[in-house]
Chain A
């Protein structure tokens, strides 16, 4: 079975500060890992994904994440937060049974203060 834990349901940073959103996963098969962002009243948009290639994955809007198998982590970072980054972020794991089913974490709301 697969599972995802996002540490911290709310994270607040100042504009220009480092963004770090934490995600730990559990998987009995080689995982596929994803970060999605959701703005109010909208669907989810893919930020980046890890599919067993490079462990450091670069995504859209300046975000990146590093797959660390030994720590079963896939933390999302951005060097400098922008006001437009305020949203809810979801980490997800997939790959079990070779289906497209994703298991999502509970989400982290990112607040960016001016």
Chain B
């Protein structure tokens, strides 16, 4: 049973470009969470999604950031007009029912030049 998959593992963008990060949850998991980790810091919650629904996006910046989890395909975290401060590791996790153990993917490391 494959774990949570994220791609790309590394992403380099110039300021002003768009970044798209993908997450495929574990088989059978319908709950997806996105976290951001700055260097030497712990992970910070961004958004919680179920299929076709955003349940909680309280940790997401109000502008430039959006997330979706369509009926078919992976969850996407989209960052428009990236700035240097967006450089971080972005982790996706998935779970069965909410509050059950969250399993994390390997992360996408975004570098904004």
Q: Is B one of A's binding partners?
A: no
